[in-house]
Amino acid sequence: NAGVTQTPKFQVLKTGQSMTLQCAQDMNHNSMYWYRQDPGMGLRLIYYSASEGTTDKGEVPNGYNVSRLNKREFSLRLESAAPSQTSVYFCASSEAAGGASYGYTFGSGTRLTVV
Amino acid sequence: DQQVKQNSPSLSVQEGRISILNCDYTNSMFDYFLWYKKYPAEGPTFLISISSIKDKNEDGRFTVFLNKSAKHLSLHIVPSQPGDSAVYFCAARGNSGGSNYKLTFGKGTLLTVNP
């Protein structure tokens, strides 16, 4: 099925551990994004990649790194996980940066708990 | 600085009645506004959008109204159905320079449609 695929769906980490969240899209979209959703905070942009080969910080980039591996894949890395990074992480893609009239396509999310 | 505000965390309506979800924004440079719907354990899905040069866009039961002078938009759902029960996010597109458009989301409103 066409769309955005995120792995894993669930993860529990200990404080200080590292991990990489994977995201892949098969819609030939140019732009990709990582958001986190916390209760009462809505969706906040962590990093985005307007096109292959470029990445930029969003609203809450501290503690994260990203890699736009190719046009399809955009990964998010937590180098040293902290309890404050407990959240639901969503990857999204759009044909063009900002996805105006047709919006973003989101993955189903990764629920991460840091203990 | 919250640029997109959804001041009602929740809304409850009866099946068949109208649901009105509201959103306010502060940045006059936003050029597109979008609504997303999110069910539990799923990613947000694009619902409807409106360009800043329009004041109304309609798609079936869903209509979005934009009042630029008041920096306010609203989503009307008529008639409301139990399957519309979800969290609704308002989003606005802004330009951070060059072609780097990205969306800023509100905190969301939980709509419950009672049978």
Bond before B79 cis per omega within 30 degrees: yes
Which residue did the predictor score with more confidence, B24 or A39?
B24
Per-residue confidence (pLDDT) for residue B74, from 0 to 100:
98
Per-residue confidence (pLDDT) for residue A50, from 0 to 100:
87
Q: What is the mean pLDDT of residues A25-31?
A: 92
Top residue of B30, B57, B105 to mutate, by most chain A CBs within 10 Å, is: B105
Pull the structure tokens for residue A2: 């066409």
Are residues B41 and A35, on separate chains, in Cβ contact within 8 Å?
no
Per-residue confidence (pLDDT) for residue A1, from 0 to 100:
60
Which of B13, B29, B41, B33 shows the shortest CA–CA distance to B109?
A: B13
Which residue did the predictor score with more confidence, B99 or A74?
A74
Are residues B43 and A98, on separate chains, in Cβ contact within 8 Å?
no
Which range (A52-66, A100-114, B6-20, B63-77) has the least confidence?
A: A100-114
Assess whether pLDDT exceeds 60 at residue A100.
Answer: no
Per-residue confidence (pLDDT) for residue A95, from 0 to 100:
82
Query: Residues B53-71, buried b or exposed e (16+ Cβ, 10 A)?
Result: eeeebeeeebbbbbeeeeb
B12 touches A: beta carbon within 8 Å: no
Residue A102 pLDDT level (bands cut at 50, 70, 90): low
Which of B100, B2, B93, B6 shows the shortest CA–CA distance to A47?
A: B100
Query: How far apart are the C-alpha atoms of A89 and B109, rounded to whole Å?
Result: 19
Shortest Cα distance, chain A CAs vs residue B95, angstroms: 8
Q: What is the pLDDT along chain B (115 residues), one digit of tens a residue?
A: 679 999 999 999 999 999 999 999 998 888 889 999 999 989 999 999 999 999 999 999 999 999 999 999 999 999 999 999 999 999 998 866 555 677 889 999 999 999 9
Which of B17, B14, B16, B64 shows the shortest CA–CA distance to B37?
A: B64
3-state secondary structure labels for all residues of B83-100: HHCEEEEEEEEEECCCCC
Assess whether pLDDT exceeds 80 at residue A15.
Answer: yes
Assess whether pLDDT exceeds 60 at residue A61.
Answer: yes
Top residue of B3, B50, B99 to mutate, by most chain A CBs within 10 Å, is: B99
Per-residue confidence (pLDDT) for residue A39, from 0 to 100:
83
Q: What is the mean pLDDT of residues A73-100?
A: 89
Are residues A97 and B43, on separate chains, in Cβ contact within 8 Å?
no
